Amino acid sequence: MTHITTADGTTIFYKDWGPRDAQPIVFHHGWPLSADDWDNQMMYFLGHGYRVIAHDRRGHGRSTQTAGGHEMDTYAADVAALTDALDLKNAVHIGHSTGGGEVTRYVARAKAGRVAKAILVGAVPPVMVKSASNPGGLPIDVFDGLRSALLANRAQFFIDVPTGPFYGFNREGAKVSQGLIDNWWRQGMMGAANAHYECIKAFSETDFSEDLKQIQQPVLVAHGTDDQIVPIADSAELAVKLLPNGILKTYPGLPHGMLSTHPEIINPDMLAFIKA
């Protein structure tokens, strides 16, 4: 098991596969999952000669179940500690959902030479929650409902989410994968309830607008039009307008978890963007 230790004593678990002299790709998972959610993509890019790295966010997976630090500034600082420890240069950072927010904050603050490109997939930026400045966002009641469900019965909640909207398995004609559902539950239950609870605020209420504006590197924004978790109209379509060098690619009818349900479509598109 490979870990780094951050300044506050938190141990961050990570996987690091492939040639050390190859261009690194760093993967950032969604809530409430772990680095394991990237197995398909890590094997795909490993097969194309890249060095692939994925970590478990603090409080998630095999990283320390900390009492605090479950907000985007600390998440980004943890990523910086990892990239410094591995001395990653010219890396591509790929984030899904909450991980897309983590990528956005990290890349906006990253040291020169660390980041070549970024990819945001089904990502939460600019900001999810509805407010006077974000009238198209989701009402706070939606996120309060997530918190209530987690507190009431986290184990059942972590079955209901992947069985329903996350992978679009609640849509008529959907090809349901019990393996994906079970693996989502397994990853979620590895993490800490307090971290998952506090992360709901982090992914829903953090405003990444200024971060997006500061990112000069090329960024691919990929989003499914049937994303029931992070609706495209208030995320990707707004984020790409704030990015100085952003490209939006939409996927008709695909769900939030399209990286897992349709990797044969998404992976080659990400590879083409990285190589371009």
Backbone φ/ψ region at 231: left (φ over 0), alpha (ψ -120 to 50), beta:
beta
Q: How far apart are CA 272 and CA 53, in angstroms?
A: 19
The answer to whether the CB of 105 falls within 8 A of the CB of 94 is: no
Which among 196, 211, 256, 260 is annotated as catalytic?
Answer: 256
Q: Are 31 and 122 contacting, i.e. CB atoms less than 8 angstroms apart?
A: no
Q: Which of 158, 127, 155, 119 has the alpha carbon at shortest distance from 248?
A: 119
Examine the residue annotation and report whether 97 is marked as an active-site residue of this protein. Answer: yes
How far is it, in rounded angstroms, from Cα 261 to Cα 221? Answer: 18
Would you state the structure tokens that stand for residue 158, as one six-digit string? 């972590």
Q: Which of 97, 204, 235, 260 is catalytic?
A: 97
CB 127 within 8 A of CB 137: yes
Which residues fall within 8 angstroms of residue 56, CB to CB, at 6 or more apart?
Answer: 12, 13, 14, 29, 34, 35, 62, 63, 191
Separation of alpha carbons 227 and 231, rounded Å? 5
Q: State yes or no: is 256 an active-site residue.
A: yes
Task: Look up 182 and say whether it is catalytic.
Answer: no
Given 227, 234, 235, 260, which residue is catalytic?
227
Please state, in angstroms and rounded to a whole number, the distance separating the CA atoms of residues 217 and 199.
27
In 3D space, the residue among 54, 56, 51 whose CA is nearest the CA of residue 13 turns out to be: 56
Nearest to 7 by CA among 64, 50, 90: 64
Q: Which residues does the annotation mark as catalytic?
A: 97, 227, 256
